Amino acid sequence: MQNKATLLNILLAIIIVVLVYQLSTGKSETPTPPKVHRAINYERDSISSEKKSIGPKGHIHPKPAVVIGSYGKDGKPNIMTAAWAGVVNSVPMSIGVSIRPSRLSYENIMATKAFTINVPSAQFVAHMDYAGNISGYDEDKFQKLGLTAVKGDFTNAPYIKEFPIVIECEVTETIDLGSHVQFIGKVIDTKVDLAYIDDENQIDMSMINPIIYGGEYYYGYGQRLGKPWDIGKRFKDDAYPTFEPKLYNNPTLATIHNRKSVRHFTSQQVNQQQLTELVRAGMAAPTAVNKQPWAFVAINERSKLDELSEILPYAKMLKQATGAIVVCGDMSRALDGVAKEYWIQDCSAATQNILLAAESMGLGAVWTGVHPISDREVLVKKVLKLPEHFTVLNVIPVGYPTGEDQPKDKWDENKLHWNTYTEIQ
Ligand X SMILES: Cc1cc2nc3c(=O)[nH]c(=O)nc-3n(C[C@H](O)[C@H](O)[C@H](O)COP(=O)(O)O)c2cc1C
Query: Which positions touch ligand X (CB under 6 A)?
Result: 65, 78, 80-84, 98-100, 103-105, 129, 132-137, 180, 213, 228
Residue 183 or 400 having the CB closest to ligand X: 183
Side by side, the strands of the sheet bearing 218-219 are 63-64, 212-213, 218-219, 224-226
Residues 6+ apart with CB under 8 A from 274: 323, 361, 363, 398
* Distance of closest approach, residue 285 Cβ to ligand X, in angstroms: 38
Residues 6+ apart with CB under 8 A from 236: none
* Distance of closest approach, residue 240 Cβ to ligand X, in angstroms: 17
* Distance of closest approach, residue 176 Cβ to ligand X, in angstroms: 13
Please, where are the H alpha helices in 82-210? 104-112, 125-131, 141-145, 205-208
Q: Are 235 and 130 in contact (CB under 8 A)?
A: yes
* Distance of closest approach, residue 110 Cβ to ligand X, in angstroms: 12
- Report how far residue 299's alpha carbon sits from residue 302's, in angstroms, rounded to the nearest whole number: 8
Please, where are the H alpha helices in 283-421? 302-311, 342-360, 374-384
Residue 77 or 323 having the CB closest to ligand X: 77
* Distance of closest approach, residue 368 Cβ to ligand X, in angstroms: 38
Residue 31 or 56 having the CB closest to ligand X: 56
Amino acid at residue number 301: E
Instruction: Give the up-direction half-sphere exposure of residue 358: CA atoms within 13 A in the CB hemisphere.
Output: 30
- What are the residues facing 191 on neighbouring strands? 166
C-alpha distances in angstroms, 365 versus 165, 244, 325, 391, 402?
Answer: 38, 18, 10, 21, 12
| Rg value, the chain, Cα | 30
Residue 100 or 161 having the CB closest to ligand X: 100
Residue 88 or 384 having the CB closest to ligand X: 88
Residue 70 or 255 having the CB closest to ligand X: 70
* Distance of closest approach, residue 370 Cβ to ligand X, in angstroms: 44
Instruction: Give the up-direction half-sphere exposure of residue 146: CA atoms within 13 A in the CB hemisphere.
Output: 3
Q: Are 118 and 66 in contact (CB under 8 A)?
A: yes
- Report how far residue 117's alpha carbon sits from residue 191's, in angstroms, rounded to the nearest whole number: 11
* Distance of closest approach, residue 239 Cβ to ligand X, in angstroms: 15
Residue 21 or 137 having the CB closest to ligand X: 137
* Distance of closest approach, residue 104 Cβ to ligand X, in angstroms: 4
Cβ-closest position to ligand X: 132
Residue 233 or 257 having the CB closest to ligand X: 233
